[in-house]
Amino acid sequence: MGLLMKTCIHCQQSKPLEAFRKSARMIGGRENGCKDCHNARRRARYQTDPSATLATNRKWFQANREKLNAYHREWRSRLDVNRRTAKRRTEIEGLADSYVKQLLAGGVLSHSDIPQPLVEAQRELLKIKRYIREHSI
Ligand SMILES: [Zn+2]
């Protein structure tokens, strides 16, 4: 419970400040109606006149299109990074050819120059090293 209380102009209940939506245009930085009342009124408005709500929403999307697109681009790029990280982790844990070849190449050889039997041998060596590490031998 917040220390600061405010009385809702709709339900007349005294509620903590957090129960009121933030608003830059209101004195005190909060709406006069509580969130519960705001939501109930928005729901009722939509029930009686959906086109008004839809028009408001459409106007907001048009006004904030670029901001929203930028947010979605940022979100997608973070998702891509997370996917690449997860894929790499899977390759390392599963000792995939790409990972084993990278260790063998050491930044000098091309991955296609590494013979497959060498990759297999390196993979077995890595398994042994992991076993020793995990069993503290
Ligand atoms: Zn209220």
Q: Are 8 and 15 in contact (CB under 8 A)?
A: yes
| pLDDT tens-digit series, residues 75-108 | 999 999 999 999 999 999 999 999 999 999 987 8
The whole-model pTM stands at: 0.50
**pLDDT of 131 above 70:** yes
- What's residue 1's pLDDT? 52
User: Residue 101 in contact with residue 114, Cβ under 8 Å?
Assistant: yes
- Distance (angstroms) between ligand 1 centre and the Cα of 15 equals 8
Q: Residue 123: its pLDDT value, please?
A: 95
How many angstroms is it from 46 CA to the middle of ligand 1?
18
Q: What is the model's pLDDT at position 59?
A: 96
Centroid of ligand 1 to alpha carbon of 108 (angstroms): 69
Q: Tally Cβ neighbours within 10 Å of residue 78.
A: 10
